[in-house]
Amino acid sequence: MRLVGDLRSRGYPAPEYLGAGGAGGLVFTVQRLLPGATLDPAFGGPPEQDLFAALLPELLAAVELQADAGDLAKPPWPRWLLSTIETGGDGYCLHETMRQAGGTARLLDRLQELARRNCAGPVRSGDVVHFDMNPANIIHDGGRLSGIVDWNIPFDGACQGDRGFDVATLLFYSYDLPATRDTLWEHAIRISGIGWTTVYLCHLSLRQVEWVRRHYPGVAAETRFTGIAWTILDECEARGA
């Protein structure tokens, strides 16, 4: 709540947190409702291309406000992110899901090899990271960015790392929109370099393909995200990763 409040003081379009509490073993927050609608038109589908292109400058400007906004001296980034690729995550990035079919098993092997090859060298770790900046968490009102929501984090320290991860997330979820693809590639690489951008895209490929395959097998979104994953890994290698 404090970190998001600090971002709001910088002009970031985050929700205003009014309070937090606990009940029945759960923690909840109370937020002021932001105007507008989410950017995802349907489950697993791409955002509308012209609208996304119009919002992208505001989105990238918001991500820049996350720069050096963390407050941990020794954040756990990127160790826990790398462990999702190597062994899986807690309730997501489950490798057993990927091993159930030949195609997804090959995808897991491919992204693991790419990530291992590119996870060396300096990495940013002082930025605030949203970690799930997909179209369902982006709100627009009248063609303008009105909010970036869902600042829930799985554990202490998970919201600090490299803001380039959030740009890579925007790239992954809009990869089939050619009008904005190059801009997002350039911005992600400018922040994080091709190596770490590749690692982030490997994680995102695993995370989204595994999630949709486990929860919504056979839907159009599974075909879309699997195709994006293979294409984006090819592009990483073509760019020298």
Residue 29, beta-bridge partner list = 20
CA distances, 226 to each of 29, 133, 149, 210, 213 (Å): 34, 19, 26, 9, 9
Task: Say how many Å lie between the first and final Cα of the chain, rounded.
Answer: 37
The pLDDT of residue 156 is above 90: no
Q: How far apart are CA 110 and CA 107, in angstroms?
A: 5
H or E, element range at 27: strand 26-31
Write down the pTM of the prediction. Answer: 0.97
The answer to whether 106 touches 112, Cβ cutoff 8 Å, is no
pLDDT (tens digit per residue) in 93-140: 999 999 999 999 999 999 999 999 999 999 999 999 999 999 999 999
Question: What are the chain's domains?
Answer: 36-238 (3.90.1200.10)
Average pLDDT value over all residues in the chain: 96
Residue 139: how many CB atoms within 10 A of its CB?
Answer: 22
pLDDT in tens, 175-201: 999 999 999 999 999 999 999 999 999
Half-sphere exposure of 61 (CA within 13 A, CB side): 12
